[in-house]
Homo-oligomer: A and B are copies of this chain.
Amino acid sequence: MNKIDQTPWTADLVAADLERAIHEHRIPPGTKLGEDDLAEAYAISRTIVRAALLALSHRHLVELRRNRGAFVAQPSVREAREVFEARALLEPRTAHSAALRMTPQALAVLEENIAQEHAALDAGETGKALFLSGQFHVEIARIADQTTIETFISELISRSSLIIALYWRRRAALCETQAHHALLEAFATADASLAEQLMKSHLLDLVASLDLRNLTQPPTSLREALQR
């Protein structure tokens, strides 16, 4: 896990690096993130590591337990529902705004994103594909020119990745590309209402593909022990 580089790792960079690793399912939920381990991996002191972990905990991607350490978060069924309810509140209207503000450049960015996602899937890099499909949603918020909402959506997307890791029904790869293609069509024709509706459906499909019955709860302590 040694990072070979000469860049000075700042806390933000470490947090971003870890967030991407979590988002891509390279680090599974419940994994303990020991301070010394991380400090050695990035060749920095624990001070920076702690700042990075603090940032991730504020985004609900890492759970800090006093005198216990940092663990990749394991969203509960309840939390999973809440995350997608929040997304349902934010994303459709944001897609609407994005459609109204769409430009050829922005459209190209979205197309490129889908292309990369396809490439990743073909290469069998499901983690990277998952990350890119999340970026598609963040990109829409960026196109809508809503930095504040983009921040919220970005966090919700990352948390969604944890939820997918825990509650995804099938073992097969996520095929969100179809829904994204449909959205792209709506954006290309600047059909805001359609984009809003498609986003709403897309999110509903996502939730429907999860197994959010409370049967498997709680995965808190026992599961954590098994997973590390």
Which A residues lie at the B interface, using CB under 8 A? 50-51, 54-55, 58-59, 79, 82-83, 85-86, 89-90, 93-94, 146-149, 152, 156
Q: Is the CB–CB distance between A85 and B149 below 8 Å?
A: yes
Q: Is the CB–CB distance between B85 and A146 below 8 Å?
A: yes
Identify the closest chain B residue to A156 (Cβ).
B148
**Residues of chain B with a CB closer than 8 A to A149's CB:** 82, 85-86, 89
For the complex, what is the distance from the CA of A51 to the CA of B48, rounded to whole Å?
Answer: 11
Q: Is the CB–CB distance between B152 and A82 below 8 Å?
A: no
Indicate whether A79 sits within 8 Å of B146 (C-beta atoms), given known contacts A51-B54, A54-B55, A89-B93. Answer: no
**Residues of chain B with a CB closer than 8 A to A83's CB:** 148
Can you name 9 extra interface pairs (CB under 8 A) apart from A86-B149, A148-B156, A152-B152?
Answer: A58-B59, A79-B148, A82-B147, A85-B146, A85-B149, A86-B146, A89-B89, A89-B93, A89-B94
